Every structure is written in C-alpha cells, then in structure tokens.
Chain A
Amino acid sequence: EAQVTQNPRYLITVTGKKLTVTCSQNMNHEYMSWYRQDPGLGLRQIYYSMNVEVTDKGDVPEGYKVSRKEKRNFPLILESPSPNQTSLYFCASSSPGTWENTGELFFGEGSRLTVL
C-alpha cells in the first residue's frame, strides 16, 4: 500500500530534550516536505526537499533541522524543543512529475508533539 509513515504519532517531551520525528514514503517520491498545523493558522511549511541531499527552508524553519540521505526518508529534528513547537506535524511527498506539474501532495497521518 502506497503511504507516508510518520513516527511517533504522539509524543510528550520536555524543553531542551532533542527529538526526531521520522518520515518514510514507499512511493519512490523525490519531493518531500514537513508542515506544522496550528489552530487558526492552517498548515505552514517548515522544510522541503526536492531530492536526496537537497533541502531548503520553508516558511517557519527556525528551531528545526532536516536531512535527506535517502530518497525514502526525511526526518525532522528538533535539537532543543521549546513549548512554542507544540504542534501537529505532517510529512508529505510527491512524485517529480506530479509535484512539478501540479503540486499534489500525499500526506502522512501526522505526529502530535507536546513540549512541556
């Protein structure tokens, strides 16, 4: 089954404790992206990657890091989480032809992060 898988789905952590949210897709997509969803603000892009070893900042990159060492994986790293990073995070991917031609995205089920 074609899917985007995120882990963990739920996480409660404390300020300053490094964490990684993993994202993996099995559709051989080149384009991958991270969004955060906050009430009243919709989805905002954190980082995206057009291909392996190619990443770029989105609208709200502060406090986050990403890496793209393999095509299927695109982990989101919070080196020193803070309470304002409490949010619902989504990973999304798209095939080259689809992304370049239409922008259609396939989303994971989300990771709800709480930073105390």
Chain B
Amino acid sequence: AQSVTQLDSQVPVFEEAPVELRCNYSSSVSVYLFWYVQYPNQGLQLLLKYLSGSTLVKGINGFEAEFNKSQTSFHLRKPSVHISDTAEYFCAVRSNQAGTALIFGKGTTLSVSS
C-alpha cells in the first residue's frame, strides 16, 4: 500500500519569496505522483504530475516539483510566489498498477501576504 505525508500543515510566506512545500511518500512499488491545488471555495485542480522520465516536473502557474526516488520525496517549489498562490496544496500518490487508489496527503495551506 502507498502512503503520503505532507510535512507542513501551514506555510506562511511573503509575496515574491521562494517557497517549498514538502511531500514524502512510501511505496513498495513504482508510483505516480501528483500535486493538486485547491483555491478558496473551489474544487481541486491538477498542478503537475510525475509519471516517469525526467525527475524535474514543471506545472502550471510557475510551480515545479522534483521526484527524488532515494529520498522518496516529491517537493513542490516556486521561486517567487504571488498573493494569488494562496491556496491549499495536496500531494497524492498511487502505484503504477492499474486499479489502485489515489492516496492524498492531508494538505498544506500556503498563505502569501504582502
């Protein structure tokens, strides 16, 4: 079975500062990894995903994440955040075997202030 841990429940930052949201996973098989974003009063939307290949994945809105197999991590980064990036971010994992569930972390609330 897979599991995912988001290491920070809340991350406050100032506008234009860099940010990293941390995600670790555990799995005995190969996995797919995702970051979803939930803006206030909205549903979740896909930010980026890692399926295979290059370990550095670029997503929407200037976000990127790096898959590190040895450290079983998939941290999300942005070099300069905006007020509009304020949202809740969810890391998710599933095995690469058909029919398995998508497992979500508990979420990280990113609060960007001026």
Interface residues of A (CB under 8 A from B): 4, 35, 40-45, 48, 50, 58-59, 90, 92, 100-105, 107-110
Q: Is the CB of B106 within 8 A of A90?
A: no
Q: How many angstroms between the C-alpha atoms of A109 and B44 in the bound complex?
A: 8
Q: Is the CB of A102 within 8 A of B49?
A: yes
User: Which of A58, A101, A108 meets B101, CB within 8 Å?
Assistant: A58
For this complex, 6 residue pairs linking A to B, each with C-beta atoms less than 8 Å apart, are: A42-B107, A43-B90, A102-B32, A105-B44, A107-B44, A109-B43
Interface residues of B (CB under 8 A from A): 9, 32, 34, 36, 41-46, 49, 51, 90, 92, 94, 98-102, 104-107
User: Which of A59, A103, A107 meets B43, CB within 8 Å?
Assistant: A107
User: Which of B42, B46, B99, B100 meets A109, CB within 8 Å?
Assistant: B42
Q: How many angstroms between the C-alpha atoms of A36 and B34 in the bound complex?
A: 19
Q: How many angstroms between the C-alpha atoms of A44 and B98 in the bound complex?
A: 19
User: Which of B41, B98, B100, B102 meets A105, CB within 8 Å?
Assistant: B102
A55 to chain B, nearest CB (A): 14
Q: How many angstroms between the C-alpha atoms of A50 and B34 in the bound complex?
A: 21
- Chain A residues with CB under 8 Å of B32's CB are 102-103
Q: Is the CB of A90 within 8 A of B44?
A: yes
A66 to chain B, nearest CB (A): 16
Give the one of A35, A42, A45, A103 with max B CB within 10 A.
A103
- Chain B residues with CB under 8 Å of A58's CB are 101
Q: How many angstroms between the C-alpha atoms of A42 and B38 in the bound complex?
A: 11
A13 to chain B, nearest CB (A): 20
Q: How many angstroms between the C-alpha atoms of A42 and B94 in the bound complex?
A: 16
Q: Is the CB of A107 within 8 A of B45?
A: yes
